[in-house]
Amino acid sequence: MKRDLVTISDLDNTEIEEIFQLSDALLEAGRPAARPGALTGKIMATLFYEPSTRTRMSFESAMQRLGGSVISCPDMRSSSAAKGETLADTARVVSSYADVLVVRHYWDGAVQAMAEYAEVPVVNAGDGSHEHPTQTLCDLYTLRKEKGGLKGLTVVICGDLKHGRTIHSLVYALARFGVHVVTLAGQGMELPRYVIEQLCNEYHYTPAPLVSHDLEAVVDRPDAIYLMPSKPHQLALFTRVDDELHDRLSEMVSGLRFDAFYVTRMQKERLREPLAEEKGHYPRIGARFLKEKRFKDALVMHPLPRVDELSPAVDQDRRGVYFKQAAYGVPVRMALLSFLLGRAVPSRARPARSEKVIYRTPEGAVSLCANVNCVTRGEPGSTRHRFEMLFAGTGDGLNIRCLYCDHRFNVHYIGNSRSKRYCTYGGGLREIVRAWLRAGELIIFESIKEAEELAYEPYRMGPQRYLMDETEVRAALERMSEAIAAGTEDRDRLMIVGIRTKGAFLARRIGAELEKQWERKMDVGEIDIYGAGDKPQKIFPVEPRLPAPDLHEREVVLVDDVIHTGRTVKSALSIIFQSARPRSVRLAVLIDRGHREVPVKPNYVGKHIPSSERERVRVKLREVEQDEKDKVVVYSIINPQAQADREATP
Ligand code: NCD
């Protein structure tokens, strides 16, 4: 079986040690040796969808020094990717040309997706903000060489800990080798929660706020977290540490010896709101650091490229080891390539992960991953949408982890695909979820709307209450249409777009209302936020024979039946803005039931109905109802009990 290196967890500590010993043997008087016979006849393909100097060139140099050769596309924008070729197809094709693929991509999890389709080993040269495991090998190798070992060291990681992929792979590896870590993040660039959770749950790290003025020599306002390897459950994650423990920690920390500062640049290309995040302080290493006695033995490391966080003043100092770190890229990558290709490597398909409870999103359902930069959202067709069920976690939802980008998040709606019923998830349903999963009947929904669009019914409902009848629905729509008309600047630009399916019926009715008022034809479209099967999410004309509406420079009014968390509207907006740049977008909903998760406020509301989370507000429209009458009803959703579960899965 082939071995991929997608995350640093794909190599165990013994294997990393083996790679380091091989790297030692490949260094002759500090320079990488040539081993022309080692990989003769083997071909490495480099596929870089993002810029690179060190990683790509040191990989290419490594392969050539081993007697192998290199093929590559000088710029993936000039490859078939520019014509829309998928990652899956590229991986299949290129793996028939080469014996190993080295891939860098801007989406988190993209390399995992390619590894699933490639027939040869795939090495991650950096995927979005996720991981960069071969940089970590160079970092650990440098640290080990300079300090004589790893266990018990204390490393301060500085800068953009949120987006820095080198940081994420590095902290997991440091954790595994028993290194203490102090985090010193730029403002708003702290280690992401999913990384901290992984450090605590899998590597038994104990994080504690660091009460120390030691680091003032580096930054003006040190906000640091001290992470130490410890026994599981000694301290809970960020719960208030009790006073005694707190004192002990600060005592321990104030006597701390810092062995290395790992500095990183701000990953500007990954900031979503550059201005907001750039304002704060950012740790920089320069003359002040060099003068500080306490740091006299602290190495300064950097994956490079640097911008202004690391002053050239450090270049001449013995502590600055970043050029060495970059130079070790060749022997370490030579060792890695020999390890992956040179002989029969033990196959190890991430044993730790394969034992986990895995959920695969069925065909037709949406990608659940909450990370907008995840490959499962960027290119759903090249992924298998797999999630690990963690069950426990913070908050009250069902905690799951994306197996591509590692992000962890909660989902709230689950269903049984055999009985076609859904319900809200609560801790009491854990065993039911496991049973449905074993039977292959579990489906997880992003929202109630998604469940109902896929024709699922609430598991059991309480008695129904009527909130609006036909006359009230008609009056509300008339009022909304008038308000929309009054708020429209340019009638020629107005375009009513309904969210399928009920929002689309309401959009037609509002369109008809305006046609009556203005005595002119109105443009009405529909948007499908879920897509179905291979059909992507899209904007459609109301009449199939018309061309797809172009929203460029239009005054769009988005229409839906009920607004609840706001996620549906958020998805619709992202589809709209992917397709065009409208002049404005307004939102009209028949019912606003509150409980928003995203900051979305409708401009036009038929009726506000405060309802509890466990209630379902349902708009029934004459277009689809048997009795051809409009109404709005509310009922409570009752979760399946153990008894009901037995009925559902005998
Ligand atoms: C890093 C990367 O690409 O993530 N560069 C590298 O591989 N040495 C760090 C960075 O770009 O800041």
CB 634 within 8 A of CB 618: yes
Ligand 1 binding pocket includes 112 (Cβ within 6 Å): no
Q: By mean pLDDT, which of 171-180, 278-287, 502-511 is the weakest?
A: 278-287
CA 280, 284, 287, 291: dihedral to nearest 10 degrees?
100
Ligand 1 binding pocket includes 303 (Cβ within 6 Å): yes
pLDDT at residue 425 in the model: 86
Distance 157 CA to ligand 1 centre (A): 15
Mean pLDDT of 134-163: 94
**Mean pLDDT score across all residues of the chain:** 86
How many whole angstroms separate alpha carbon 529 and alpha carbon 555? 20
Distance 53 CA to ligand 1 centre (A): 9
Burial of 199 (0-12, 13-18, 19+ CB in 10 A): buried
pLDDT at residue 650 in the model: 42
Please identify, by atom number, the ligand 1 atom nearest to the C-alpha of residue 265.
Answer: 12
pLDDT at residue 68 in the model: 96
- Length of the chain, in residues: 650
Q: Could you identify the residue written with the tokens 């992917």?
A: 578
How many whole angstroms separate alpha carbon 300 and alpha carbon 262? 6
Mean pLDDT of 312-339: 96
How many whole angstroms separate alpha carbon 442 and alpha carbon 433? 7
Ligand 1 binding pocket includes 126 (Cβ within 6 Å): yes
The runs of H, that is alpha helices, within 227-374 are 243-254, 274-278, 287-291, 322-327, 329-337, 351-354
Q: Could you identify the residue written with the tokens 């770190």?
A: 325
More confident residue, 568 or 463: 568
Q: Cα 618 to the chain's mean position, in Å? A: 32
Q: Give residue-wise pLDDT tens across range 207-262.
A: 766 655 667 667 665 666 777 765 433 333 333 445 565 565 556 566 678 899 99
Ligand 1 binding pocket includes 130 (Cβ within 6 Å): no
Q: Could you identify the residue written with the tokens 């022309």?
A: 36
How many whole angstroms separate alpha carbon 567 and alpha carbon 553? 24
How many whole angstroms separate alpha carbon 514 and alpha carbon 353? 57
In this prediction, what percent of the chain has a pLDDT beyond 70?
Answer: 86
Tell whether the torsion through CA atoms of 204, 205, 206 and 207 is positive or negative: negative
pTM, entire model: 0.80
Ligand 1 binding pocket includes 304 (Cβ within 6 Å): yes
Please identify, by atom number, the ligand 1 atom nearest to the C-alpha of residue 104.
Answer: 3
Ligand 1 atom 8 nearest Cα: 303
pLDDT at residue 612 in the model: 80
State the pLDDT confidence band at 491, using cuts at 50, 70 and 90: very high
For 601, phi then psi, to 5°, come to -130, 120
Whether the predicted pLDDT of 392 surpasses 70: no
Strands (E), 122-199: 122-127, 154-159, 180-185
Distance 105 CA to ligand 1 centre (A): 12
* Residue of 387, 382, 380 lying closest to 405 (CA atoms): 387
User: 411: how many CB neighbours lie within 10 A of its CB?
Assistant: 19
CB 361 within 8 A of CB 415: no
Ligand 1 binding pocket includes 265 (Cβ within 6 Å): yes
First to last CA, the chain: 38
The pick from 56, 129, 166, 270 for probing ligand 1's pocket by mutation, whose C-beta has the most ligand atoms within 8 angstroms, reads 166
Q: Cα 334 to the chain's mean position, in Å? A: 31
* 3-class DSSP state of 152: coil
Max mean pLDDT among 94-103, 212-221, 494-503 falls in 94-103
Ligand 1 binding pocket includes 54 (Cβ within 6 Å): yes
The pick from 104, 304, 306, 323 for probing ligand 1's pocket by mutation, whose C-beta has the most ligand atoms within 8 angstroms, reads 304
DSSP state for residue 131 in the 8-state scheme: B
The pick from 111, 135, 170 for probing ligand 1's pocket by mutation, whose C-beta has the most ligand atoms within 8 angstroms, reads 135
Distance 267 CA to ligand 1 centre (A): 9
How many whole angstroms separate alpha carbon 487 and alpha carbon 478? 14
How many whole angstroms separate alpha carbon 454 and alpha carbon 333? 48
The pick from 132, 168, 189 for probing ligand 1's pocket by mutation, whose C-beta has the most ligand atoms within 8 angstroms, reads 132
How many whole angstroms separate alpha carbon 232 and alpha carbon 86? 42
* Residue of 256, 289, 261, 4 lying closest to 121 (CA atoms): 4
How many whole angstroms separate alpha carbon 401 and alpha carbon 403? 6
Mean pLDDT of 536-553: 78
State the pLDDT confidence band at 643, using cuts at 50, 70 and 90: very low
Ligand 1 atom 6 nearest Cα: 303
Distances in whole angstroms, Cα of residue 375 to Cα of each of 87, 125, 359, 386, 403: 10, 16, 17, 12, 11
Ligand 1 binding pocket includes 58 (Cβ within 6 Å): no
CB 344 within 8 A of CB 375: no
How many whole angstroms separate alpha carbon 184 and alpha carbon 155? 10
Ligand 1 binding pocket includes 104 (Cβ within 6 Å): no
State the pLDDT confidence band at 534, using cuts at 50, 70 and 90: very low
Q: What is the identity of the amino acid at 185?
A: A
Mean pLDDT of 178-204: 87
pLDDT at residue 354 in the model: 47
Which residues, including other chains, have CB under 8 Å from residue 181's CB and lie 6 or more apart? 154, 155, 156, 157, 171, 174, 175, 205, 226, 227, 228
* 3-class DSSP state of 599: coil
Ligand 1 binding pocket includes 128 (Cβ within 6 Å): no
Q: Give residue-wise pLDDT tens across range 256-289.
A: 788 999 999 999 888 866 544 455 678 889 888 8
How many whole angstroms separate alpha carbon 297 and alpha carbon 152? 15
Distance 309 CA to ligand 1 centre (A): 14
More confident residue, 625 or 452: 452
Q: By mean pLDDT, which of 87-91, 247-251, 487-491 is the weakest?
A: 247-251
